[in-house]
Amino acid sequence: MQRNIEDFIKPGAHAHLVGVGGVSMAPLAEVLKGKGVEITGSDMRQSDTVTHLRSLGIPVTIGHLAESVKGAGCVIRTAAVHDDNPEIAAALAAGIPVFERAQAWGAIMRHYKNALCVAGTHGKTTTTSMCTHIFLAAGRDPSVMIGGNLPILGCGHRVGHGDTIIAEACEYCNSFLSFAPTMAVILNVEEDHLDFFKDLDDIKSSFRRFAELVPSNGSVVVNHDNAGALSAVSGLDVFAFGLEEGADCTAANLREEKDGPEFDILVHGERYAHVKLQVHGMHNISNALAAASAAHVLGVPGRAVEEGLASFTGAGRRFEKKGTCCGADIYDDYAHHPDELRALLTMAGGLGYQRVICAFQPHTYTRTAAFFDSFVEALKLADAVVLADIYAARETDTLGMSSQKLAEQIPGAVCPGSLEAVAAHLEEMARPGDLILTVGAGDIYLVGDTLAAAGKN
């Protein structure tokens, strides 16, 4: 029998969250607690997030124990937790309904007039963050769920009291199909997550279904410059943004200043806002147009777009400055897809540094294998490449794939292997005039932390 999650997350109910320390599970715990639901949780390790949740009166058990689900009306799990997890197995055996994290967020969204959901193969976190800055500047008091840290929030989420929720919507495992968007923003549709999707057509089909979740009185905002996105929403009524001719929202009078681009945002040929960004790159101009389009459609005045985007300095792990070492500037970035890597290195190459050194940690064996040639070509844009071992995440190596194989195809690239070895190599080669980028979706950021700490000593 299909059970409705809304019946289990109402005041007085008890929900147990498995993997509660995750970037979208922790805010879910807070939001549900704020709605009167008794929340307990578990996570594999102690963290600042776990400490924070406990400070709110949410008990969190470290480790996954079957007895932790006792007394729960339902269990909500993160996507990384499978049926063989002791808590999930115990819940299923006891007849306790188990729901996915995305189902819970979808249920929450239905209580908002505006559910602004940002999807795309890349750019989601930055664009969701830009939307957050704009809606805060407009005084709309939004609730927010971002897959990363946003300095203005001090975390990746916000529980507001306005009529709008802004959420990052991930396509992996079709998670975003459990959402309830009244506005679907689609930034780009490219090949990724090929451990789940069959091919690009399968990915397009998923994004199409996401767009079709929007009710007749809602809106679909799409990137006019991205062929995959346009193909996915073909035939639907959309509001298009982009730099190419034919977009509803576009940029004009673009000037690339040293501290960031400045341009007018035009909607149907009329000036809506004049913005000055503190983040570089054409991809961020595109992200800003996406955020401005969403704001315009939802009735936000142009002055709030100007104020919100002017105050945006980047989301955590999105070209985030970590410090200096041996005179070199150290920045960290989450890029883990070839297109993201290419955009990052192209942008970095225009900043005037003598050398751009890219320390890259490939994310998962399947992604590295699927995009091997594209990663090689993207990494060649750096002046020097240092590779860390592949971050396995949820996988084991059944493909014989390694960072060393990448290094063999990139002139001058080295593969020290461990994070400690990568940090030592970078410190040895760093010199004034260098930009050192630590790049990847795993724990490569720790290398930047190590270098920044060394630079202070």
Instruction: Report, as residue numbers or ranges, the catalytic residues.
Output: 124-125, 168
Q: For residue 111, give the 3-state DSSP assignment.
A: coil
Contacts of 134 (CB under 8 A, 6+ apart): 291, 292, 295, 300, 304, 305, 307, 308, 309
**Distance, CA of 332 to CA of 444 (rounded, Å):** 8
Q: Which of 80, 84, 68, 89 is nearest to 15 (CA)?
A: 68
Strand ranges (E), 301-427: 320-325, 328-333, 355-360, 384-388, 414-417
Number of H helices, E strands in the chain: 15, 21
Give the H/E segment covering residue 356.
strand 355-360
- Determine if residue 71 is left, alpha or beta; phi over 0 gives left, psi from -120 to 50 gives alpha, anything else beta: left
Distance of CA 213 to the CA centre of its chain: 21
**Distance, CA of 71 to CA of 63 (rounded, Å):** 18
Cβ atoms 39, 32 nearer than 8 A: yes
Q: What are phi and psi of 443, to 5 degrees?
A: -110, 25
**Distance, CA of 426 to CA of 435 (rounded, Å):** 11
**Distance, CA of 335 to CA of 363 (rounded, Å):** 10
- Stated length of the chain: 457
Tokens at residue 70, please?
Answer: 């006792």
